[in-house]
Chain A
């Protein structure tokens, strides 16, 4: 394989993993905040929670659209096999995201108590189902997809397994943790205190989820096991679990010491590390266990054209995203939440 034909898909795989990571951590805390509605009954605090994400959730969700579009343009072989393979969880996820997305508006526009209740539940269950489906899709992806001649050849429920269910729960747990630590950062008073307590519980749950998924994954597929246990791989990959533990320890102490931002960035670190671990596990496959990156990639011209755009545009996107977060920085009070 010539230089470009080899390296372009690799570069793109890195960009896609980065984009997915950005999506997961950004929309992760949005969805987490949605799920935490289940534990917060006070309408004023609920409004504060929503207000911490209301100005940014739309931009966060756009990373998911980017993921879909880039997969379509750069890895059409992946787009055209993964989406039919995960047809059911993807449709459910999209519908759940619809409920979540409109609830931002509808719960405020609701006139009667009953209407408010409907859209609070819509927000909560929409967030929960979307999170679960994302985890289940991830689990189904890691365990492998049946492909014949480059086309999905499995059955519509192949994705459903004890492993994918565990991954679904793990992602729900992780997003809730991101949401809770985000609220520690962005809210104050009694709500912040409660969020600290939730964060502790969720961090413990998430830790066990990570351990369980990590121990299970290598036994799904023989190459996965070799990747993590064979010499000298073991030296190269060992920092990942070590850093996970370090991150967890920092988070625990930061939560107790009353730090505002550190817990969120530690939770973010966990997601980063688990996604890196995942990338190491499945490399160089685009769709385990049969299609490699290069089997599913677009022609060079298409990859180059999108790459040119991405190199120029994504840094600009990131810049104004950071600016938008900067405009809405600081703790949100009940007072702020009424002013929109």
Chain B
């Protein structure tokens, strides 16, 4: 592609990264929260303890807001492949477009169809059916994740196709191979666990904030807040170590299928056995070395190959125009790992505090959990930056370059849309975040739901606003 398009390409990439980066936070939140809600409603139906219904209602309001933001930011994604990556769409549409169509038909409709009942239907359909709706929505979010990760995984580790010589299009040969690509199971598990962890930390931080506030006001910790805190930390204790394992396996899979990405993640330039692990450094693409590196001898080989002698790839194995920008990938990967370690630490700390009977009393731990609130989402963003920047310069790995994927758009059109997207997203999602914090600042209401007239998702705020103005 001509160099005159470089600015347009950069703008298109920025726009996609920005919009998808904002978007991914919401589906991750929805996936984890929908499952949490299904668990809460299930526990309420089984144990008849109202605390679970109180928590369900509390988090349902959050879900409604977060899901709404996910839908509107997701609509943009469904069209952005065509508006900004039309060459990619034309060539890979017969494969990725098909997977997205299945996502819409099996997941989006399911979520949307039962969301109305979940949010507004408790009085209309009865408890059992309402619980079914909640579970259906939760199941829908998981199906959605499955298809979109199948699509992304095909772009990362493509198989099951051949390229039509005349048109350069990817023609499908074997649909099962296309869906079940080598990186797909690892990516799915890694992202699924990440969504659960993110929500566990969001719930944990909310509970921590209320525990701290109640203590400051001299009150005893309220029951819903304690239940929330405890549930979140059991989840973290179990899932965070599992995520380490899943991440390690995903990394080994990447080493096998996308070794150039691993070289960029590690900041390794020479391919060698007995390779050190670079803890910190600054990769320099021009000088082809990682400056100021702090290394642990042999650890690189040990982590990546699980043996001291194992050979790890180096960026110099690949031509210069096939190397991912290592500065970005190197750091995003390390931030993700650091956050992961803190998450595991949180889990172990909670076990120790439970054992010492200080679980609800340690203000230090509660402050730490409050700080860790956004850690899951940050880790998700860093993980996606690692995998998406790390697979550059390709959109379909090894087959179609990013430069050859773009739309025939002028830089001026892209400037217009980038500026609009940034302004509108900051306003819309900034406001959404403000509303979210407002909601979370309220203490879960206790006991309103004991008399059988359950009003799920009710918003008392609007009652007043409406009462005043009726004719």
Contact = CB atoms under 8 A, between A and B. Distances in A.
A313 B98 contact: no
B113 A340 contact: no
Contacts of B462: 47, 108, 337-338
B413 interface: yes
B94 A73 contact: yes
A289 B117 CA distance: 45
Interface in B73-102: 73-76, 78-79, 81-83, 86-87, 89-102
A44 B83 contact: no
A76 B461 contact: no
B86 A81 contact: yes
Centre residue among A47, A84, A320 by max chain B CB count within 10 A: A84
Contacts of A95: 420-421, 424
A165 interface: no
Given A72-B100, A83-B86, A305-B175, A43 B71 contact: no
A87 B417 contact: yes
Given A64-B75, A68-B78, A80 B90 contact: yes
Contacts of A150: 90
Interface residues of B, number: 86
Given A76-B89, A153-B408, A328-B116, A301 B171 contact: yes
B119 interface: yes
A306 B114 CA distance: 23
A59 B463 CA distance: 26
Given A101-B68, A102-B428, A298-B93, A324 B117 contact: yes
Contact of B120 (A43, A54, A101): A54
Interface string A43-73: 1110100000011101101101110111111
Contact of B435 (A94, A106, A151): A106
Contact of A106 (B93, B113, B116, B432): B432
B104 A65 contact: yes
A101 B71 contact: yes
B420 A91 contact: yes
Interface of B: 64-65, 68-69, 71-76, 78-79, 81-83, 86-87, 89-106, 108-110, 112-117, 119-121, 123-125, 169, 171-173, 175, 407-410, 412-413, 416-417, 420-421, 424, 428, 431-432, 435, 438-439, 455, 457-459, 461-463, 465-471
Given A301-B173, A321-B113, 8 more contacts: A42-B469, A58-B116, A74-B98, A104-B68, A109-B65, A301-B94, A302-B95, A327-B121
22 contacts: A58-B115, A62-B109, A66-B101, A69-B101, A72-B101, A73-B97, A76-B89, A80-B87, A80-B93, A87-B409, A101-B72, A102-B431, A105-B65, A152-B407, A152-B408, A301-B171, A310-B101, A313-B109, A320-B109, A320-B110, A328-B120, A334-B470
